[in-house]
Structures are given as C-alpha cells and as structure tokens.
Structure 1
Amino acid sequence: MSGQRILFVQTQAENAGAQEVSRLLGEHLTNRGHTVRHLFFYKKSEDFSAPPDTIIVRQTRPSKWRFFSFLGELYKAIRDFKPDCVFCFQHFGNVIGAPVARLAGCPFIVANQVTAPSLINPVVALLDKGLGMAGIYDRVTVNSNFLLDTYGRYPIRYVSRLDFIPQGFETKDCAMDIASAREELGLPNGVPLLGVSARLNPAKQIDKVLAILATQPEWHFAIAGQGPDFTRLQNEAAKLEITNRVHFLGEFAPSQIGEFLACLDVFTFPSAAESFGLAAIEAAQAGVPVVANDLPVLQEVLQANGKPCALFVDVMDPEAFASAIATVLNKPKVAQTLRDRSGDLKERYSLKAMVDAYEALATGKDPAADKHQVMAVS
C-alpha cells in the first residue's frame, strides 16, 4: 500500500485534548509510511508542543477584518500540500476547514466531532449539519455513544456518514514516586493534593473545586493548564484566601503530564460538559483516583468491564463532591478499587485500534470500529 498524504486541521495550537489525539494519530500514521502534516488556524499557547511538520497559519486569532485574507492563506496552505485526505477537528476546524479543503481540491474530508454539543454556538451547529448533509464532509467521526446518540438524531444524509471510533490514548505513566514528583514540580509533600489538567475556561468549572478547598484547610489543589479563565480563577483563589494552597503550574507538554499526575492523591474533574473526557481517563489509567462530575458521557467512558472507574457526584452539590474526595483520601480500599478497575481502560481505548480505524478512513476502507457499537454503562 502506497502512503497517503494526510492533513490534520485544527483551530488553535495548544496542548489540549483534541490536539493530543491528532498528535498521536499523526505520529503513528507517519510510522506506517504516510506523509502527515498538521495545520492550525492560529497559535493559542506559547508553550504549545508542535508535532513534526506543523503549519500555523496565523500567530494570533484572525480578526473579523482580516478573516478573508486568513481564508486565502488557509486555502493556499492546504492546496500546496495536496492532501489525499483531510481530518478536521473541533467545531470551527470542521465548518471552516472542510469547505476550504474542498475548494482546494481535497478528494476526501473527515469531520471529527470532539466538542461537547452544549458548548457549540447554535449557528455553528446548524452550519455543521448543513455541511454534513450537503456532502462537504465525506465521513463524520464520533468517539462516544453520547455523541453517537446526539448526532444520530440528525437527518439521514448526515447520519449515514457517521463512524464511531472509540478514542485511543497514550499512557501517562511516570517512574517517580509521589514525593520525588512533587519535589520536581515544587509542590508540597505531606499534604492531601487534588489536581486537574484542563484548558482553563468557565465550562471546566474549576472554581467549584476552589470553593470546596476553602472548606477543607488541609487540602491543596494543583492546576495544570492555561486558558481564558486563568485570571478569574486566580482572583477567586485570592477572594477565598486560599492562594497558598492553590498551585497554578501552567501548561504541560504531553510527555510531562505523567509527572504531574504522579504528584496527585485525587484527580478532580468538575467539568460542566464533555464529549469524551480524555484528561480524566489518562489520570485514572495512571493510577490516580478520579472524582468526576456526574455527567452521562463521563459515566459511559470512565468504566471498564461494566464497572465504574471513578466516583461520580453532582458538582453542584459541593458537600457531596467534597465527601467523595474525602472518601478517596481516607479510605485506601476505595482508592485501590478504582485503581484496579482503571487498569483495563488502556485495553478498552486501544491506541492501535484508533489508528487502524483512521488509517482505514484515509485509505478508503470502512473503519474497523462498528459505528453501531453500544458501550455498556454501569
């Protein structure tokens, strides 16, 4: 089989979940003999760990006054690469990248739905539906039954293009013990340490954990990530008088996440909306007990062999969420049970299976994943 020319298109260059997926796919498809390029509309983070052969069209987010010149640059970048297949990620990556790629002559375009539907502007969602029905997308991937059910309610001309490909991931293990990892990152030893790895935006609801921290004077909280909510979270920590127990560590490269996870006693995941929840899955598989918001999609993905791999609690009930964290901290058997169950997540979300499915799409075959597969939820 001759290698394909494959282009991954995304909105912003930063170290976040969708970018991690395309990075992994690009790395493994390159190893299989394909020519891979990554294209980002603009640079979101100075700490972005760019994969090999990456193009960033603009260094800052295109303004509305320069949007058409940006589209011209995007068109030229796609046309010059002459891809056999384009994989678009994120809602703006789909609705902007796919039409431009079609105009640039790309013969096969895949839209990847990786954003929680409730976070997508209704106008953008309507445009996405129209592009799928019109055939601008040849295929549309989803990575959870939650999303399959959501997009499965669309008209048949859209639904017929759906492929369910469970998301694979790379393990984030670390050889250091907890004390060494904390010393390396400048975090305190001998204290209960909660943590989260996320893009800092209001939908992640990290302020809910800050409020809980204010009621638990012994607990500390480490935050890995950057984003528009950073200043507000800093101000909230100051208002609650907990700045000495909240540790903003900035953005981590994918290769460093394991070191961060090795520091934690509990991984908290209070997000209001998710399409998959990769950060929580990485934490659970790395052996960090997870306490997550009680979202249906998280209950679906954070389970293995029909058993939950996390404690699920409505974060809008702060006393219950704090109680769940305390349970993990104070009951070693509960924490160990979650660790034991989470060891099977790597098999459930096989990286090889995901790469196989995307390679099948890129080469014109049916992906190995069964689009009608239903995951059992405990």
Structure 2
Amino acid sequence: MADTPDTPASPPAARPRTVLMIQTQAENAGAQEISRLVGAGLARRGHAVRHLFFYSRTGGATDLGDVEVCVAARPGNPLAFARFLVETRRRIARIAPDVVLTFQHWGNVLGAPLSRLAGVPAIVANQVSATEVTNGPLRIVDRALGRFGLYDRITVNSDETARLYAGHPAAYRARIVAIPHGFERKKSPLDRAEARRRLDLPQDVELLGCAARLHPTKRLDAAVRLLARMPDRHLALAGQGPDLARLTGFAHELGVAARVHFVGELQPTRVGDFLAALDVFVFPTAAETFGLAGVEAAQAGIPVVAADLPVLREVLACDGAAAALFVDPTDGAAFAAAVDRIFADPGLAADLRRAGAGLDRRFSLDAMVDAYARLIDDVTGGGMR
C-alpha cells in the first residue's frame, strides 16, 4: 500500500474555489497520478475538486472521487469528434469551475479552448508530455495558445522540461511556472515473498521490473532483451498500453516469454507491493518530463538502472549522490552489465538506496500542492491574462 509521510494539517484555502482537472484518458499512469495527488491535496485545503477525462482507456483513475468521463472511447471519426467537443464543452460549462488545470498535450490544446468557450476565467496548462510523444502541429497549437493567453499559466516539472521551451515566444515563456512533481511514497507492508505471491510472480528468482505504460517510447523491449543475456532472471512489467502485443511477440521471438510476467494495470495503492517484489527496477524509457516511476522506485529502496537522459540524471539524485545507475539501454551489453553490477556489489546497491531514500524530501508532496494552491490564488485573483 502507499505510505504517506506524516505532515501537518493542510492550511485552508484563502478562498475556496471549484477546481476542474482535465485530462485526455482515464487510466493509471504518471500524469493521472499527479492530478490525483494535486486534487487530493487541494481538496484537503478546502477547494472543491472535480476530474474530467475526455475518454476512458481502462477502468483506472475513475476512483478519484468526483470524476466524469465525456465519452466512452476515443472518437474514431469526424462526427464522433464533433460530438465529443460539444459534450466536453457542455460538461465544463455545467461544472462552472473557477479554474481549470489541464494535463497532457491533448488535455492542454483541447481543454483550454473548450474551457474558454465554456466561460472559465482561469486556465493552468501542465506540460507533462514529452515532446517525443507530441506531433509538430500539436506543438504549434500549444505554442499559440500560450503566446496569445488561452493559458494563464504553464507549469513545468523539471529544469530539463523548462529548457524545451527556451525558444518559445517571450509571451509564452512569461507564463511558465516551475513546480517539480511531488510524490506519494510507495512503501509496502509486505515482504518480498508475500508481494510476489499476491502478484503471482515467481519466488526464488532474481526479478527485474518496471512500472510503465506499455508504449514504444518506454523502450520496454530493451528490458525484455536483457533476459536473453540473463538466462536465470525474470522480468515483471506493470502497466497497460498499445505495445502489449508487440512486447509479447518479441519475448516469444527471443525465447524468453516464460520469464516475462505482465502484471497489468495497478491501482496506486498496489504499486508499492509491486516494487517490494523486485530486486532491480529497470527504466529504459526514451523520453520523460520527470520520470515519476523511477523516482518512486528509488525512494522505495529498489536499486534503479535508468536510461541516461538528462532529465533522469536531474531527478534521480539527492544531495549530490546519484540514486540510479545510468546507461544507454539500446546498448544491450552495457545495460546488462549495469544490472549485473547491482547484483554483484551490495555496497553499490546500498549507496543507491541511501540516495533514493531522500527523494521524498527533495520532491515533497506538500510542497507541490502548496505551489498549486498559490498558483490558483494567483490566477483567480486577477493575475496575468
């Protein structure tokens, strides 16, 4: 189960507002976890928080409390898309929020204009999608929305993400506010054996794992490929997504399918149990704006081997000490060697755990929510338009 640090009572809001969180799809993934945490924190501070998803991808993320889903599935033709736009604007107008927080690229570029059409006075766009998963036309629209004021503020969650917008127009950059992700500690009361039993994972093996959406940008095929070099190790993958069939087929091609375990989508309260089952967390992702899954694993005491991305070097560190080993996961030999180092060197594993333990101080959940609370006070009190 998720374990949250003891914190003082949340300060009441200066003036309670109705806050609407808008996202593309209902599922359990990183952006949804952040909106869940921010929403819960704002509710504790007295705000009325609602969640609106464009469509449902899985059964996840619909237990947030006050949740609405505009349409059952992603619109597949122009008529369905037009109906979706009308329905989404209608729902926003009915909720009549004081402020809308949009998440993900489609959440931003569709949610902001529809919110303006519905009469919402303040909009905060949250840049939580890596540019590698957004197409060029979408980025052009996003740039225009920020430049011409459909976004009142634009949050970024890391220094590396902020650098992506350094070349944007001055009017866009003036709206950017840095709010690093906070997170909920994913500790578990279960020991390794019990965690594996509950997740139907093998006992008495060295188990690698990753919690991520099954998508090509996560490069989970690199994790599967590790097993061809490690005949006695197993891999557990928690998540769902469009890459499941390809990854399954790839595991069969390599002859390692019996050692790859697809756990499926997990509720946030079960992620800690999944981490408790692992020996090493592998994170071969090609692109992140923050890398929440890696940070959660490192703080939970699981040694992490991560892709050598600038943003992961930024966030997977505490007090100058790295909380992960960094490697090019497309270099299979180097990736395998990094994993081998952790198993062979208990001192190295202990150093990584020690650095990871401080990440909840560096990325405080309360600090994140406080920053959003101040931002809401700002934009609803006559801030920049």
TM-score by length of structure 2 reads 0.93
Structure 1 residue runs without a partner (length 5+): 367-378
1:169 and 1:349 in contact (8 A); partners too: yes
1:283 and 1:290 in contact (8 A); partners too: yes
In structure 2, what is the equivalent of residue 24 of structure 1? 37
The within-5 A match list for 1:211-290 is: 211-290=225-304
In structure 2, what is the equivalent of residue 171 of structure 1? 185
Amino acid across the alignment from 1:337: D
Amino acid across the alignment from 1:313: V
Instruction: Please report how far the alpha carbon of residue 118 of structure 1 lies from its aligned counterpart in structure 2 after TM superposition.
Output: 2.1
Structure-2 separation of matches of 1:11 and 1:55 = 12
Do residues 6 (structure 1) and 19 (structure 2) align?
yes
- Give per-residue Cα distances to partners, 1:10-32, cap 9 Å, x unaligned: 00000000000000111111111
Amino acid across the alignment from 1:123: P
Instruction: Please report how far the alpha carbon of residue 178 of structure 1 lies from its aligned counterpart in structure 2 after TM superposition.
Output: 0.8
What SS does the corresponding residue of 2:235 show, helix, strand or coil?
strand
What SS does the corresponding residue of 1:214 show, helix, strand or coil?
helix
Amino acid across the alignment from 1:266: V
Amino acid across the alignment from 1:33: G
Amino acid across the alignment from 2:186: K
- Give per-residue Cα distances to partners, 1:227-269, cap 9 Å, x unaligned: 0000111111111111111101100000100000000000000
Do residues 41 (structure 1) and 54 (structure 2) align?
yes
Q: Which runs of 4+ in 1 moved over 6 A?
A: none
Do residues 98 (structure 1) and 112 (structure 2) align?
yes
In structure 2, what is the equivalent of residue 15 of structure 1? 28
Structure-1 separation of matches of 2:379 and 2:168 = 24
Amino acid across the alignment from 1:77: R
* Stretch of structure 1 that moved more, 104-113 or 209-218: 209-218
* Stretch of structure 1 that moved more, 22-31 or 86-95: 22-31
Instruction: Please report how far the alpha carbon of residue 47 of structure 1 lies from its aligned counterpart in structure 2 after TM superposition.
Output: 4.1
Structure-2 separation of matches of 1:180 and 1:202 = 31
Amino acid across the alignment from 2:100: V
In structure 1, what is the equivalent of residue 357 of structure 2? 343
Distance 1:49 1:217, change over 3 A: farther
1:152 and 1:159 in contact (8 A); partners too: yes
Instruction: Please report how far the alpha carbon of residue 363 of structure 1 lies from its aligned counterpart in structure 2 after TM superposition.
Output: 1.5
In structure 2, what is the equivalent of residue 145 of structure 1? 159
Do residues 121 (structure 1) and 155 (structure 2) align?
no
Structure-1 separation of matches of 2:244 and 2:133 = 19
Structure 2 residue runs without a partner (length 5+): 1-13, 381-385
Structure-2 separation of matches of 1:110 and 1:86 = 6
1:196 and 1:224 in contact (8 A); partners too: yes
Structure-1 separation of matches of 2:69 and 2:54 = 6
Distance 1:340 1:25, change over 3 A: same
In structure 2, what is the equivalent of residue 370 of structure 1? none
What SS does the corresponding residue of 1:363 show, helix, strand or coil?
helix
* Greater length-normalized contact order (CA 8 Å, ≥ 6 residues apart): 2
Structure-1 separation of matches of 2:185 and 2:73 = 32
Amino acid across the alignment from 1:291: V
Do residues 67 (structure 1) and 58 (structure 2) align?
no
- Give per-residue Cα distances to partners, 1:328-352, cap 9 Å, x unaligned: 1121111110000111100000000
2:122 and 2:379 in contact (8 A); partners too: no
2:299 and 2:353 in contact (8 A); partners too: yes
1:88 and 1:110 in contact (8 A); partners too: yes
Structure-2 separation of matches of 1:49 and 1:39 = 10
Amino acid across the alignment from 1:51: L
2:26 and 2:60 in contact (8 A); partners too: no
Structure-2 separation of matches of 1:154 and 1:271 = 26
Instruction: Please report how far the alpha carbon of residue 87 of structure 1 lies from its aligned counterpart in structure 2 after TM superposition.
Output: 0.3
**Number of residue pairs aligned between Structure 1 and Structure 2:** 366
Instruction: Please report how far the alpha carbon of residue 197 of structure 1 lies from its aligned counterpart in structure 2 after TM superposition.
Output: 0.3
- Give per-residue Cα distances to partners, 1:49-86, cap 9 Å, x unaligned: 43000000011001232111111100010000110000
Structure-2 separation of matches of 1:64 and 1:201 = 23
| Percent identity between the two aligned chains | 49
In structure 1, what is the equivalent of residue 329 of structure 2? 315
